[in-house]
Chains A and B, each alone.
Chain A
Amino acid sequence: MTERDTAVRDSTVSGTGDDMGARDTGRNGRTAGVRRRITALARAELLLLLRNRLALGTALLLPIGSLFLFAPILEDLDIGMAARAYSLTGLAGFLLLYVVYYNLATAYVARREELVLKRLRTGECTDAEILAGTAVPAVAGALIQMAVAVPVGALLLDLPVPVNAPLMLLGMLGGLVVFWLLAAASSVFTRSTELAQLTTMPLVLICLFASGVVFPATQWPDPVPEIARFLPLTPVMELMRLGWVGTTGERAPVDFVGTLRPAGLPLAVLVAWIGVGVWTVRRFFRWEPRR
Chain B
Amino acid sequence: MNGTGVVEARGLRRRYGASGGYEAVRDVSFAVAEGELFALLGTNGAGKTSTMEVLEGLAPATGGQVRVLGHDPFRERRAVRPRIGVMLQEGGFPSTLTVAETARMWAGTLTRPRSVAPTLELVDLAHRASTPVQQLSGGERRRLDLALAVLGRPDVLFLDEPTTGLDPQSRQNAWELIRALRAGGTTILLTTHYLTEAQELADRVAIMHRGRIAAHGTIGELVRRYPARIGFAADGVPALPELPGVRDSTTTGGRVTIRTDALQETLTALLTWAQRLGITLDGLDAREASLDEAFMAIAEEVPA
What mask results when residues 122 to 141 of chain A are scored 1 for a CB within 8 Å of chain B, else 0? 11111000000000000000
Segment at the B interface, from A16-24, A84-92, A144-152, A222-230: A16-24
Tell me the bound Cα distance from A43 to B69 in angstroms.
Answer: 32
CA distance A44 to B92 in the complex (A): 14
Contact A22 B92 (CB under 8 A): no
Smallest Cβ distance from B303 to chain A, in angstroms? 28
Interface size in chain A (residues, C-beta < 8 A): 44
Name which of B101-109, B215-223, B226-234, B271-279 contacts chain A: B101-109
B93 and A114: CB pair below 8 A?
A: yes
B84 → chain A closest CB, angstroms: 9
Q: Does A257 contact B (CB under 8 A)?
A: no
Instruction: Looking at the assembled complex, report how far the CB atom of A23 sits from the nearest CB atom of chain B, in whole angstroms.
Output: 6
Q: What A residues does B181 contact at CB under 8 A?
A: 8, 12
Min C-beta distance of B71 to chain A, whole Å: 11
Give A43 to B118 CA distance when docked, in angstroms: 22
Within 8 A of A (CB), among B106-120: 106-115, 118-119
Q: How far is the CA of A116 from the CA of B106 in the complex (A)?
A: 11
Q: How far is the CB of A110 from chain B (nearest CB, A)?
A: 8
Contact across chains for B108 and A118 when beta carbons are under 8 A apart: no
CA distance A43 to B181 in the complex (A): 30
Which candidate, A46-54, A74-82, A233-241, is the interface stretch facing chain B?
Answer: A46-54
Chain B residues near A48 (CB-CB < 8 A): 94, 96-97
Judging by beta carbons under 8 Å apart, are A44 and B105 in contact? yes
B284 within 8 Å of A by Cβ? Answer: no
B90 on the A face (CB < 8 A) = yes
Q: Check B95 against A125 for contact (C-beta < 8 Å).
A: no
Q: Which of B78, B108, B153 has the most CB of A within 10 A?
A: B108
Question: 0/1 per residue, A14-43, Cβ < 8 Å to B?
Answer: 111101011110000000010011011101
Contact surface of B with A, Cβ cutoff 8 Å: 34, 56, 58, 69, 78, 81-83, 86, 88, 90-97, 101-102, 104-115, 118-119, 121-122, 148, 152-153, 155, 176-177, 180-181, 183-186
